[in-house]
Amino acid sequence: KYKSYPYEHMQKIREQNISPSLRMYYKKPLLLHQGHMQWLFDYEGRRYLDLFAGIVTVSVGHCHPKVTVAAQKQLARLWHTTNIYMHPSIHEYAEKLTSFLPDPLKVVYLTNSGSEANDLAMFMARLYTRNFDIISLRGAYHGGSPYTLGLTSVGLYKHSVANGFGCSTTMLPDVFRGPWGGSHCRDSPVQTVRKCSCSEGWLFTNTFSNLQLTDCIMCVCHANDQYIEQFKDTLNTSVPKTIAGFIAEPIQGVNGAVQYPRNFLKEAYQLVRERGGICISDEVQTGFGRTGSHFWGFETHGVVPDIVTLAKGIGNGFPMAAVVTTKDIASSLAQNLHFNTFGGSPLACVVGAAVLDAIEEDGLQKNSEEVGTYMLLELAKLRDKFEVVGDVRGKGLMIGVEMVTDKDSRHPLPGEEINQIWEDCKDMGVLIGRGGLYSQTFRIKPPMCINKKDVDFTVEVLNTALQKHMERAAAK
Ligand code: PMP
C-alpha cells in the first residue's frame, strides 16, 4: 500500500527549505517511494527501469538484500567509533578492497564523498611531490568542493569565486567531438560511421567490424599523437617544469561517457611522471566492474596510477568513498595527523564489504561485460537507423548516446528536442541520465544487475521515443 503524499506540498517545501542549486530531472520530477535492484517505484505505484542508478551510484542494485542485511545487522550493534579505537570492520574492508587492486596500491583512506576523496588525492599529490600544479582534462567533473572545483571543467558547475589555484586543464581527447580521430581509436565494441574532418580524405575501411568507416587514414594513424601534442603543449605553456600530478577518469562520466584514443592515458602518464608528477585515476564512476572487461577503468588503459579515488558505487548508495595509494605516498601525510570523523565507520565498512561480495557472488563484472556489450550493439542499430543518434559509445555498462542534429555536422540536438525524447522515455518507464557540455548525451549507467530483457525493453522504448521525434520533426 502506498501512503499518498500531496505532490504540491512537497514542491512547496522544496521551494522554501531545500537548496535552490539542486536541479531536478524532468518537467514533473518523480516522487520516489521504493527501490528494488534495477527498479524504482514512485508514490503512485509506477515502476521505472533505472538506467542511471542514482547517478551511477547504485552498483549492485537498489536495496540489494545482501547489502541491506549487512547494514541492518551493523546498525543494531555499533555505528561509530570516531576513528580513535579499533574495530574489525575497517581492517577487514581495507584488506578486501586492496585485494582487488594491483601493487603498489595498498593503503586505504576512507572518506565520505567523491569530492572529499579527490580533495585528499590533490592534497597528497602536492605534499608528496612538493609541487603544486595539477592538470585535468576539459569536460571533467571531479567534484564540487572549492578545491576540486579547480579540476572540474564543466561550466554548469563553476561559480564566480576564486578557485583553481594551481589547476590547469588540457584538451579533451574526444574522438567524436574533437578534431581528430574516430571511434576505431577507442576501446568499445561499437564503431561509428562518420565523415573525416581532415582534408586528406583517404577513406579507411575497417577490417575488424563489418562497418565501413569513413575516417581518413591520416586520422586513423595520428589522432592520439595529435592529442598528446596538445598535452605536451599544456605541459610547456601552462605549468612549471615540475608538477604535482594529473587526474583523469578512464572514461569521462559527467561529460557523457567520453572515451580517449587508445594509448592516450599511457603516454600522458609517462609525460606526467617525467615532470615529477603523480597520476590519479578517478574511478568514482568507472570502478567496481562497471567497464566489464576489468574491475577498474585504469586497467582498460594498461596503466597503474599512483592514487585511485573511489566513491558512488563503492557503497551502492551509502555515503562513503575512498582514496587508495602507495605506502610511499601515504607516508607524506603521516608526518602530521589527518583525521576524518565519519570516514571508515563500521557501518560504511560492512556496507563496502557487502558490495564487494555482491559483485563477486552475483557475477556483476561479467554481467556488465555481457549485457553492456549487448546493449551497445543494440543501441548501435538505433544509431544506424536514426540521423539524430550521432554516436553510441562506451564499455560495459558505462554507455553514452550522443544526440545530434545530423551525423555530418554533429551539432548537438537542441535542448527542447532532446528533453522531449527523454521525457517520453520516462513516461514509458525508462529513466536515463543526461550529460555533455550541451546536455546532448544520454547516459546509460544502470545498476550492474540488469539483464538482456531490460536491454530489449530499453531499446524498444528509445526506438519509440525516437520515432515520435521523427514524426514531430516531419510535421514541423
Ligand atoms: N568524480 C566523479 C567522476 C564524479 O562523477 C563525481 C560526482 N558526480 C565526483 C567525483 C564527486 O563525487 P561526490 O558527488 O560524491 O562528491
What are 225-235's pLDDT values in tens digits? Answer: 999 999 999 99
Domain-located, residue 164: yes
Q: What is the pLDDT of residue 163?
A: 87
What are 409-425's pLDDT values in tens digits? Answer: 899 999 999 999 999 99
Q: What is the pLDDT of residue 185?
A: 82
Same domain, 166 and 308: yes
Same domain, 309 and 202: yes
**Is the ipTM of this structure higher than 0.90?**
yes
Band of the pLDDT at 203, cuts 50, 70, 90? Answer: very low
Say yes or no to pLDDT of 396 above 60.
Answer: yes
Q: Between these two residues, 230 and 216, which has the higher pLDDT value?
A: 230
Domain-located, residue 142: yes
Cα gap 285→296, rounded to integer Å? 10
Band of the pLDDT at 223, cuts 50, 70, 90? Answer: confident
Distance 193 CA to ligand 1 centre (A): 32
Give the largest Cα separation in the chain, rounded: 69
Ligand 1: residue of 285, 296, 323 to mutate (most ligand atoms within 8 A of CB) is 285
Note the Cα 416 to chain centre separation in Å.
25
Same domain, 403 and 273: no
Ligand 1: residue of 19, 22, 141 to mutate (most ligand atoms within 8 A of CB) is 141
Q: Which three cell numbers stand for residue 68?
A: 541491506
Same domain, 351 and 375: no
Distance 237 CA to ligand 1 centre (A): 29
Q: What is the pLDDT of residue 212?
A: 43
Same domain, 144 and 280: yes
Q: The domain that contains 13 carries what CATH number?
A: 3.90.1150.10
Say yes or no to pLDDT of 182 above 80.
Answer: no
Residue located nearest, by CA, to atom 2 of ligand 1 = 142
Say yes or no to pLDDT of 210 above 50.
Answer: no
At residue 232, φ and ψ (nearest 5 deg) are -60, -40
Band of the pLDDT at 198, cuts 50, 70, 90? Answer: low
Distance 282 CA to ligand 1 centre (A): 9
Residue 109 · residue 343 · CB < 8 Å: yes
Q: Which three cell numbers stand for residue 54?
A: 542514482
Q: What is the pLDDT of residue 197?
A: 54
Distance 142 CA to ligand 1 centre (A): 6
Ligand 1: residue of 58, 284, 434 to mutate (most ligand atoms within 8 A of CB) is 284
Q: What is the mean pLDDT of the chain?
A: 92
Domain-located, residue 101: yes
Q: What is the pLDDT of residue 204?
A: 46
Say yes or no to pLDDT of 318 above 50.
Answer: yes
Q: What is the pLDDT of residue 196?
A: 53
* Single residue among 361, 385, 401 that ends a domain in this structure: 361
Residue located nearest, by CA, to atom 12 of ligand 1 = 114
Ligand 1: residue of 52, 154, 286, 312 to mutate (most ligand atoms within 8 A of CB) is 312
Q: Give which of 313, 327, 309 is closest to 449, Cα–Cα.
A: 313
Same domain, 28 and 118: no
Q: The domain that contains 157 carries what CATH number?
A: 3.40.640.10
* Single residue among 327, 361, 395 that ends a domain in this structure: 361
Same domain, 229 and 334: yes
Same domain, 124 and 235: yes
Domain-located, residue 59: no
Name residues contacting ligand 1 (CB within 6 A): 55, 113-115, 118, 141-143, 249, 253-254, 282, 284-285, 311
Distance 143 CA to ligand 1 centre (A): 5
Say yes or no to pLDDT of 217 above 60.
Answer: no
Phi-psi region of 302 (alpha: psi -120 to 50; beta: other; left: phi over 0): left
Domain-located, residue 64: no
Please give the angle made by the CA atoms of 397, 401 and 402, to the nearest 5 degrees: 145
Same domain, 46 and 77: no
Residue 47 · residue 429 · CB < 8 Å: yes
Say yes or no to pLDDT of 207 above 90.
Answer: no
Same domain, 403 and 449: yes
Question: How many domains is the chain partitioned into structurally?
Answer: 2
Q: What is the pLDDT of residue 17?
A: 96
Q: What is the pLDDT of residue 215?
A: 53
Residue 359 · residue 449 · CB < 8 Å: no
At residue 339, φ and ψ (nearest 5 deg) are -125, 145
What are 398-407's pLDDT values in tens digits? Answer: 999 999 999 8
Same domain, 116 and 251: yes
My answer on whether omega of the bond before 447 falls inside 30° of 0, hence cis, is no
Say yes or no to pLDDT of 211 above 70.
Answer: no
Mean pLDDT of 450-464: 98
Atom of ligand 1 at shortest range from CA of 140? 3
Q: What global pTM score does this model have?
A: 0.95
* Single residue among 361, 381, 409 that ends a domain in this structure: 361
Q: What is the pLDDT of residue 186?
A: 86
Q: What is the pLDDT of residue 50?
A: 98
Q: What is the pLDDT of residue 93?
A: 98
Residue located nearest, by CA, to atom 14 of ligand 1 = 114
Q: Which three cell numbers stand for residue 432?
A: 536515463
3-state secondary structure 157-171: HCCCCCCCCCEEEEC
Band of the pLDDT at 312, cuts 50, 70, 90? Answer: very high
Q: What is the pLDDT of residue 407?
A: 87
> Of the given ranges (30-44, 177-191, 343-357), which has the lowest mean pLDDT?
177-191
Domain-located, residue 346: yes
Atom of ligand 1 at shortest range from CA of 252? 3
Ligand 1: residue of 115, 136, 255, 323 to mutate (most ligand atoms within 8 A of CB) is 115
Distance 468 CA to ligand 1 centre (A): 34
Which residue range is the domain that position 148 belongs to?
A: 70-361
Say yes or no to pLDDT of 193 above 60.
Answer: no
Band of the pLDDT at 202, cuts 50, 70, 90? Answer: very low
Distance 56 CA to ligand 1 centre (A): 10
At residue 169, φ and ψ (nearest 5 deg) are -105, 155
Note the Cα 22 to chain centre separation in Å.
19
Atom of ligand 1 at shortest range from CA of 115? 16
Distance 106 CA to ligand 1 centre (A): 22
Q: Between these two residues, 436 and 262, which has the higher pLDDT value?
A: 436
Band of the pLDDT at 82, cuts 50, 70, 90? Answer: confident
Say yes or no to pLDDT of 200 above 60.
Answer: no
Same domain, 118 and 262: yes
Q: Between these two residues, 6 and 200, which has the higher pLDDT value?
A: 6
Distance 318 CA to ligand 1 centre (A): 14
